[in-house]
Chains A and B, each alone.
Chain A
Amino acid sequence: MSWLDRLRQGLSKTRQQFQDAAGDLGTDLQETLTRLDSIEDLEYALIAADVGRAATEEILADIRKSGKSNLQDALMEALTLQLEPDRRRAQFRQLGFTPDARRTVVDPRGHVVMVVGVNGVGKTTTIAKLGEYYLGRGKSVMFAAGDTFRAAAGAQLGVWGERLGIPVVGGPEGGDPAAVAYDAAAARAARGTDLLFVDTAGRLHTKHNLMEELKKVRRVIDKADPGEPADVWLVLDAVTGQNGLAQAKKFHEATPLTGVIVTKLDGTAKGGILIPIVRELGVPIKFIGVGEGAHDLQPFDPQAFVRALFDVEVPRD
């Protein structure tokens, strides 16, 4: 099964609910726009997908002026635009160009990637999957078990490291996460390993002190290995509602994000929170998780995502 099929399957539930809520999407656009209740249904459908109020209004405005005859086409175009973090490329798209229809390849900018997020979004599991992804691409990988707070979190990453044959740098439970990060970053630089993924303890973005701790971890990595971490990725659970945006904003303030990874997209009806995040922060979505297996972590392509969402055949090249 290709990943697109998997994605399409994973998103089938979202699509179904969307259609249940908004009615048949193949309907004539002009007719839809003249009926007030159907616009309201569409509004509800978008909000029910966790797209959020502001983005919903913008999407509806885009649909109105799209000039397309078919509602589905107009909606797909509007959604793709929302998911394009680069404004210039968004304009190109608006003019009818498709900058990258091909599947994107995600390469970290530097050697150290810090992975952050609130509790229970799947940071540790995602790191394991990332490790497998980059191992498969011929990179050497290391993990830093920087979650010294949650009971047995280090053990969890240790088990993954053992399964995948990836070395894990850890520390004592309740120890200083920055110390673990420092050791790991120094070790990576010394060994010349290609990539180091630094796990961090889950923290609510409203906890001031814990966000300060995160800043410290980042500073300390820079000390051990100047210029790193070049990437900070936020992991977000797809079932998260509008609070996801608040999370992304606060984490972005503490440690500027270079990417977002959305997990658990397979079981949920939603994932619409991606849209306000890209829209407000301009941070690209790097990967999406559409299943439990390691291969179910996939690079994110907005157009493919939206097409999969609506079950439209994607032109392959």
Chain B
Amino acid sequence: MFEALGNKLQDILDRVGRESKLTEKQVKEAMREIRMALLEADVNFTVAKDFVARVTEKAVGQEVQGSLTAGQTVVKLVHDELIQTLGGEAKQPTLSNEGNVFFLVGLQGAGKTTSAGKLAAHYKSKGRRVLLVAADTQRPAARDQLEVLARQVGVPVLKVNDHETPQETKRRLDEFLKTDFRDLVIVDTAGRLQIDEALMDQLAALQTELQPTETLLVVDAMTGQEALNVARVFDERVHLSGLIITKMDGDARGGAALSARSVTGKPIYFAGVSEKLTGLEPFYPDRVAGRILGMGDVLGLIERAQQADLKAMEVKKPGDFDLEDLLVQLRQIRKMGPLGDLLKLIPGMSRALPEGFNIDEKQLQRIDAMISSMTIKERRNPKIIDGRRRKRIAAGSGSTVQDINRLLKMHEQMKEMMKVLQRLSGPGGLGKGMKPPRMPPMPPGMKR
């Protein structure tokens, strides 16, 4: 999502050149471009102005460090400042043993209800006993939506009735908690515009009654300049304690995160990264700053690998890499998430790929189907696959003989390439068995 901004900054900074000391003129020029890039990324203009002012102050007269070029020095300064602006260290809500109440607030359509469901799933997996409270009485069927999510997560839900007073809600909640112990209550409120006085009063009244331990503002990553006002007014009216940024899996550059964080000074706890209930990740300022600058996110990549529980493959000679190995690796990698997303986590990759680059996951599935239609013997020794076998495999996997030919050829080329690579890098390298297979020269369905 942040790649576009990263690319831009990188282009600008490449132009700064390889001087040993940064002159004021160079810095000024770069900073003007950075400011524009930040604005294009929807960072609020006052935030962008301040940001640039802070970086400029540090950059002018800065000695270029050691082996770094001037451009790299500026990248480092901008990177550090971005981390600071995004909150420095990653933070998570602190929970006590009992009586935790989360209050989710935000504009309509920011993703509160979905985030409530995701939070419930997240904390349930951490051993919490979660209760969801559906307090969105405005949008038709919003409470039903939360009920469905609660069922999927496997937690109970308490629905607030129409026109119920906050006092009544509190009473019903206490009653519920008496019969069924819950140590974390997550309240999903109705979306509202920050300028709607009446609704904001209602929200404040409910908050006073329920006394939440955390009041979380849910912010859409695609929000424009307005993000700053939204965050500021919500903070003034209901005193936020943290932020959740949603829809980070789109291509929004996410300047809203920067704006909201810097105006409230409250930590961004989580980022929503998919429509699924598991699509909620802790927000790491350093990683996101790295992504903004197109530095990739190696930590994120490793984390995904750990989650996917990749099995190390026995080390083989490249010449022995057969179709069975290819299938195993393909499946393991797909477990880590869409390949397109993974590629973007690799440092430098987001710049190397054309904009709008996409990998058709279906093509990978087709390869899977083709190999699955082969016998183990064929997979281990592809040389035995003759014309008749090809026909059978094609029929079995719903593809054509040409597809099979292409797959076999691709596999041959991969083997060749792995041999070359091994000669270049020597043994060891990047974690045993974790080395992703090189993308074949015939890219299966990669398209712009």
Contacts and interface: CB of A to CB of B under 8 A. Distances in A.
Contacts of A108: none
B109 A120 contact: yes
Interface string B35-58: 010011110110000000000000
A156 B275 CA distance: 19
Interface string A50-64: 101100000000000
Contacts of B36: 53
Contacts of A21: 45
A153 B141 contact: yes
Contacts of B361: 208-209
Given A120-B111, A156-B140, A50 B224 contact: yes
Contacts of A160: 140
Interface in B205-230: 220, 222-227, 229-230
Given A242-B224, A242-B253, A244-B222, A152 B39 contact: no
Specify the main secondary structure of chain A where it touches its partner. Answer: loop
Contact of B109 (A13, A153, A237, A269): A237
A241 B149 contact: no
B252 A152 contact: no
A314 interface: no
B317 interface: no
Interface stretch (B23-31, B74-82, B189-197, B321-329): B189-197
A122 B109 contact: yes
Specify the main secondary structure of chain B where it touches its partner. Answer: loop
Given A151-B145, A152-B145, A242-B41, A208 B253 contact: no
A105 interface: no
A271 to B, nearest CB: 9
Interface stretch (B243-251, B345-353, B399-407): B243-251
A48 B225 CA distance: 6
A118 B141 contact: no
B108 interface: yes
A287 B249 CA distance: 28
B247 A47 contact: no
Interface string A225-237: 0000000000001
Interface residues of B, number: 49
Interface in A263-308: 264, 266-270, 272-273
B160 interface: no
Nearest to A237: B109
Nearest to B248: A204
A21 B195 CA distance: 19
A66 interface: no
B40 A239 contact: no
A242 B142 CA distance: 29
Interface in B94-149: 107-111, 139-142, 144-149
A173 B147 CA distance: 14
B358 A240 contact: no
Given A47-B39, A156-B140, A270 B252 contact: no
B290 interface: no
A195 interface: no
Interface string B172-211: 0000000000000000000001111000000000000000
A74 interface: no
Contact of A153 (B45, B145, B230): B145
Contacts of B39: 47, 53
B441 to A, nearest CB: 22
Given A151-B149, A153-B141, A269-B229, 17 more contacts: A50-B224, A155-B141, A159-B140, A160-B140, A209-B361, A209-B362, A239-B224, A239-B230, A241-B224, A241-B225, A241-B255, A241-B256, A264-B108, A264-B193, A267-B194, A269-B226, A270-B224
14 contacts: A44-B45, A118-B250, A120-B111, A149-B275, A152-B147, A153-B141, A156-B142, A156-B144, A158-B141, A160-B140, A239-B224, A243-B222, A243-B250, A268-B226
